[in-house]
Amino acid sequence: MTYKVPFVNYKDQYKVLKIPIQKAISRVLSEGQLILREDVLEFEKNLAKFVDVKYAIGVASGTDALMLSLRAAGIGPGAEVITVAHTFLASIASIVHTGATPVLVDIGDDYLMDARLIEKAITKRTKAIMPVHLNGRVCEMDAIIKIAKKYRLSIIEDACQALGASFKGKRAGSFGIAGCFSFYPAKILGAYGDAGAVVTNNKRIYERIRLYRDHGRKTKDKFVCYGVTSRLDNIQAAVLNVKFKYINQWILRRKMLARLYAKELGKIKEVTLPPFPDKNRDDVFQNFVIRAKRRDELKAYLTEQRIETIVSNPIPLNKQKELKLSQFSLPKTENFASDVISLPMIPELTDRQIQYVMKQIRTFYHI
């Protein structure tokens, strides 16, 4: 189906960026600079500056960023890492892939890790906390940092959905020992394929991840540990460097769209809006997630009106038998799974399109 309002719109974004993107790709190809070349270094500098940290390391995906960060922080078999189930499975999978055990806590009304539940989940084996800054909003980092300090735990931030968001003036990714980003095409900053990065102020973590992403290669012929192939492609880095110039403008547009949605949808009693930035927060609205009565009917109706929406985790991850997470009882996570729905939220959305979405939601609820 061609949607009147698509959830992502790579084609329209490309129309605007076509010339600089083609120039960048063509330069990389004609110079034959493919793996760990200048564009990757430039991107790492851009990212570190944007997040306000010392180091950034480009890797192949957000999942690898998380996995390699956990490994670099010494997380492995026998360790427990506290995180949430209201996330993309990659957060939990990255823990499992290190051989460690994920321990899940519930979320608060803001869809984010409920810091009040962390202490109860800590055992002798707990080594780290992985807060997930979902939907472009940073978790309650003061409380999380306090607990991490008290129990000497590492914080590895899953900031894959929160590039540019901040809490008390500090950007997502800059709170923990490592912050992890995804540049999957639909992200706020999206590559033309998979890509990711780790940011850190810790030199040891920086050096470990640089080794891990390239099979432990220290110099051309010298290997100092076992690693993987997880380098950010130079061609993707070149694309991301072009797109970086637009990021502030794109984030502003997302915030504007969020305000438009909130103004209209706030009048509908069947709809619960997402939390909005308070004095401590600057949210970037990677997603615009509402809670809606008769969610499945609403989704079907919007599809009929050619509006594309997404329901993330309709089956909560702790209810998926094969993932072996069913020992965790997460009432809020499970409850939210039954009524959350993500509305289109991309900078390319026109005012007319967003008015159309809101009109259709009003019509569905007879308002």
Ligand X SMILES: Cc1ncc(COP(=O)(O)O)c(C=O)c1O
Contacts to ligand X by CB under 6 A: 61-63, 87-88, 90-91, 132, 134, 158, 160-161, 182, 184, 194, 196
Q: Output 196 or 277, the one with its CB closest to ligand X.
A: 196
The residue sitting closest to ligand X, measured at its beta carbon, is 62
- Nearer to ligand X by Cβ, of 159 and 177: the residue is 159
Residue type at 143?
A
Contact between 165 and 277 (Cβ < 8 Å)? no
Q: How far is the CB of 233 from ligand X (least distance, A)?
A: 13
Q: What separation, in Å, do the N-terminal and C-terminal C-alpha atoms of the chain show?
A: 27
Shortest distance, CB of residue 342 to ligand X, whole angstroms? 12
In the sheet where 281-282 sits, what is the strand order?
170-171, 166-167, 281-282
CB of 184 to ligand X, least distance (A): 4
Q: How far is CA 224 from CA 37, 57, 215, 221, in A?
A: 21, 18, 9, 10
CB of 363 to ligand X, least distance (A): 31
Q: Give the CA distances from residue 279 to residues 168, 185, 258, in Å, rounded to whole numbers and listed in that order.
A: 8, 31, 17
Nearer to ligand X, 347 or 353 (CB): 347
For residues 241 and 39, the answer to whether their CB atoms sit within 8 Å is: yes
Of 187, 222, 293, 324, which is the active-site residue? Answer: 187
Q: Shortest distance, CB of residue 131 to ligand X, whole angstroms?
A: 11
User: d(Cα 219, Cα 226) in Å, to the nearest integer?
Assistant: 14
Cβ nearer to ligand X, comparing 20 with 185 = 185
- For 258-272, give the DSSP string: HHHHHHHHTT-TTEE
Task: Look up 267 and say whether it is catalytic.
Answer: no
Q: Answer whether 164's CB lies under 8 Å from 186's CB.
A: no
Task: Report, in Å, the least distance between residue 64 CB and ligand X.
Answer: 7
By C-beta, is 114 or 194 nearer to ligand X?
A: 194
What is the dihedral angle through the alpha carbons of 344, 348, 350, 355, rounded to the nearest 10 degrees?
10
Most distant pair of Cα atoms in the chain: their distance:
69
Contacts of 355 (CB under 8 A, 6+ apart): none
Complex with ligand X: residue 181 or 356, whichever CB lies closer:
181
- Report, as residue numbers or ranges, the catalytic residues: 187
